[in-house]
């Protein structure tokens, strides 16, 4: 696995991809990117605004382009958006261009970690957040597992401890 220089973090919202990714990049002296932040940088607007204006479909097109561009870089840690795996092309790119780590998190932890976050458009509905997260998990968890080189649970550890565990699994 060590021949692949990029590390791509996949998993549901609230798994800690961005926080863990920053620690991982810092510990390995790699550049850190977050696909959602890159979309915001390129559009000059936040994710919720992009969703409002273009819908989820428009957002996913932007996300696919950003991930295509970022995965062409070398020596990076990339935190992907939770729904990025819905695109077969994105799954193929992630698998081919780096080591994919699935950050697995129970629904209860996701609910706790996202309950005050108003920047998550898929949770800003009439539907209860737990129900939304369960529905998304049923659709997406098999896709995360399909492309993962390995899986790490993030529920009972600090972000730094998870990053250390990933480095240990990578054999770095």
Q: Per-residue pLDDT tens for 101-116? A: 999 988 888 777 666 5
Euclidean distance between CA atoms 41 and 38, whole angstroms = 5
140 is in an annotated binding site: yes
Residue 110 marked as a ligand binder: no
What is the reported pLDDT for 35? Answer: 96
Q: Which domain holds residue 74?
A: 5-164
**Residue 16 marked in a binding site:** yes
pLDDT of residue 109: 81
**What burial letters (b/e) apply to 51-77, b meaning 16+ CB within 10 Å?**
beeeeeeebbebbbebbeebbeeeebb
E strand or H helix at 9 = strand 7-10
82 is in an annotated binding site: yes
Find out whether 19 is annotated in a ligand binding site.
yes
Q: Is 120 annotated as a binding residue?
A: yes
Q: Which residues, in sequence order, are bridge partners of residue 32? A: 77
pLDDT at position 1 is 41
Query: Angle at Cα 121 formed by Cα 120 and Cα 123, nearest 5°?
Result: 75
Assigned domain for 152 exists = yes
Q: What is the CATH number of the domain that holds 102?
A: 3.40.50.300
Contact predicate 17/154, CB 8 Å: no
Per-residue confidence in pLDDT tens, the chain, 172 aa: 444 489 999 999 888 899 999 999 999 999 999 999 999 999 999 888 888 889 889 999 999 999 999 999 999 999 999 999 999 999 999 999 999 999 998 888 877 766 655 555 555 566 677 888 888 889 999 999 999 999 999 878 899 999 999 999 998 7
Asked if residue 170 is part of any domain, the answer here is no
Is there a binding annotation on residue 18?
Answer: yes
Q: Name the β-bridge partners of 152.
A: 103
Q: Please state at what angle helix 129-147 crosses helix 107-114, rounded to 10 degrees.
A: 120
Query: Is there a domain that residue 172 lies in?
Result: no
Ligand-binding site membership of 36 (annotated): yes
| 169 part of a folded domain | no
**Would you say residue 129 lies in a domain?**
yes
Torsion angle defined by CA atoms of residues 118, 127, 143 and 73, in that order, rounded to the nearest 10 degrees: -20
Whether 134 is covered by a domain: the verdict is: yes
Q: Is 0.85 surpassed by the pTM of this model? A: yes
Q: Are 7 and 30 in contact (CB under 8 A)?
A: yes
Tell whether 17 is in a known binding site: yes
Total number of domains constituting the chain: 1
Cα separation, 3 vs 159, in Å, equals 25
């Amino acid at each position: 696995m060590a021949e692949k220089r990029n590390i791509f973090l996949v998993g549901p919202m609230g798994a800690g991809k961005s926080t863990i990714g920053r620690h991982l990049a810092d510990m390995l002296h790699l550049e850190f990117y977050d696909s959602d932040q890159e979309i915001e940088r390129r559009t000059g607007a936040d994710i919720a605004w992009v969703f409002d204006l273009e819908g989820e479909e428009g957002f996913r097109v932007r996300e696919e382009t950003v991930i295509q561009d970022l995965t062409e870089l070398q020596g990076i840690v990339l935190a992907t958006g939770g729904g990025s795996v819905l695109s077969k092309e994105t799954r193929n790119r992630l698998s081919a261009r780096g080591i994919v780590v699935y950050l697995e998190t129970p629904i209860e932890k996701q609910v706790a970690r996202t309950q005050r976050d108003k920047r998550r458009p898929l949770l800003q509905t009439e539907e209860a957040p737990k129900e939304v997260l369960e529905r998304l998990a049923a659709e997406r968890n098999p896709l995360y597992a399909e492309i993962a080189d390995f899986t790490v649970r993030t529920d009972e550890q600090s972000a730094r401890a998870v990053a250390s565990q990933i480095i240990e699994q990578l054999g770095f």
